[in-house]
Amino acid sequence: MSRIGKKAVTIPSNVQLTLDGQTVTVKGPKGQLSWTVAEEIEIKQDGAELSLSPREDTQRARAMWGLSRTLVGNMVEGVTNGFERKLELVGVGYRAAMKGSALSLQLGFSHDVDIAAPQGVTFAVPKQTEITISGIDKQAVGEMAARIRKIRPPEPYKGKGVRYAGEQVRRKEGKKK
């Protein structure tokens, strides 16, 4: 039994949830998201709660049960509160700036790295060494943060690079004589 799948998704009063077969559409104050649930999962809406259950007892149905519940829960949270990831730039001369809606990064290369914001994701630069990525789709926000971090991941000797806020970088000792 899936511990996560058994929990019902609570739908706030300011969110409108629509079921069309296996497609779940969630509309809230921040926007609208929709996702098609796998055929192995049965969806039932009971007032302000949405419950999911597997149609048969197979390995795939059990796997999709918890996943589907989590994804629908993230959709509801995304349209009400939104999601946010923070990145830090560590290194001499490493800085970020906004160019319109695009993000411009100086990361020690001979050129600036410009990143256009994808649909549904916004960038903010509160300080030159901090980047905030926000949006209603948790997957898109996390993927964009990972792509930016991949440009210059933190290296283990000096700790320079792009890291998630609060990330601990394991440091290595340098060469000895």
Please report the domains of the chain, with CATH numbers, ordered by start residue. 3-80 (3.90.930.12), 83-164 (3.90.930.12)
pTM of the shown model:
0.88
Q: Is the pLDDT of residue 1 over 70?
A: no
pLDDT in the model for residue 10: 92
Largest interatomic CA distance in the chain: 71
Q: Is the pLDDT of residue 6 over 90?
A: no
What confidence tens digit (pLDDT) does each residue in 32-75 have?
A: 999 999 999 999 998 889 999 999 989 999 899 999 999 999 99
- Are 122 and 135 in contact by the 8 Å Cβ rule? The answer is yes
Where does the chain have alpha helices with state H? 3-6, 59-80, 138-151
pLDDT in the model for residue 170: 93
First vs last C-alpha separation in the chain: 58
